[in-house]
Amino acid sequence: MTKIINILKQADIFFGLTPTQLEMIATVCQEQDYNNGDVICQENEHTDELFVIVQGEVDILVNPALVSDHPGEHKPAVIATLRRGQCFGEIALVDEGLRSATARSAANHTRLLALPRQKLVLLCEDYPQLGYRLMYNLAADLSLKLRNTDLLVREELLYGSRSR
């Protein structure tokens, strides 16, 4: 349990939580192991877990073919590589919708903590201070990722059209 709590402490999404709150979250974590190339979750599929990287790397990929008139011309592209202490799958905590990207292990012996949405929601409802801090951190994390995506879109609009 101590090892899991130490990993949670490294994740920005759990910043500012008390040791007791981290311990409660640790009780709902499930450890999962992956090897290089293993798909953790697939774009456009329904899953409801938040993941925290314990060790290894995870590539986040989007497939432009999903919105293309010519799907055969496009391949999934890596838009980010995440490492120890980083998390992904936050949107599943908010809207229970389809995955917006594919997550794929980018290294052998990649270990993750999976946190099921329903168990986290119950903790947030039972312990409002924990819920407030977690949702605040979640909003900050998603805002940062949205800003980075905005920069990528602007860069593509500015420089991508020159190479066509």
Residue 164 has pLDDT above 60, yes or no: no
CA–CA gap between residue 143 and residue 25 (Å, rounded): 23
Beta-strand relationship, 39-41 and 77-82:
unpaired
Q: Which domain holds residue 149?
A: 2-163
Domains: count for the chain:
1
Type and span of the H or E element at 53: strand 49-55
To 10 degrees, what angle do helices 117-126 and 19-26 make?
Answer: 150
pLDDT digits (tens, 9 = 90+) for 105-117: 999 999 999 999 9
pLDDT reported for residue 72: 66
Taking CA atoms, 137 is separated from 17, 72, 156, in Å, by: 10, 39, 29
Q: Dig out the tokens for 62 from the structure.
A: 């989007």
Give the CATH number of the domain where residue 133 resides.
Answer: 2.60.120.10
Mean pLDDT of 31-51: 94
pTM of the model: 0.86
The three-point CA angle 97-99-103 to 5° equals 155
pLDDT reported for residue 73: 67
CA–CA gap between residue 105 and residue 81 (Å, rounded): 9
pLDDT reported for residue 15: 94
Residue 76 has pLDDT above 80, yes or no: yes
Helices (H), 47-97: 90-95
Per-residue pLDDT band for 64 (boundaries 50, 70, 90) equals: confident
The three-point CA angle 36-114-52 to 5° equals 70
Q: Which residues contact 35 (CB under 8 A, 6 or more apart)?
A: 105, 108, 109, 110
Residue 24 has pLDDT above 60, yes or no: yes
| In the block, residue with structure tokens 């039972």 | 126
| In the block, residue with structure tokens 């838009």 | 79
Taking CA atoms, 102 is separated from 36, 77, 78, in Å, by: 14, 10, 9
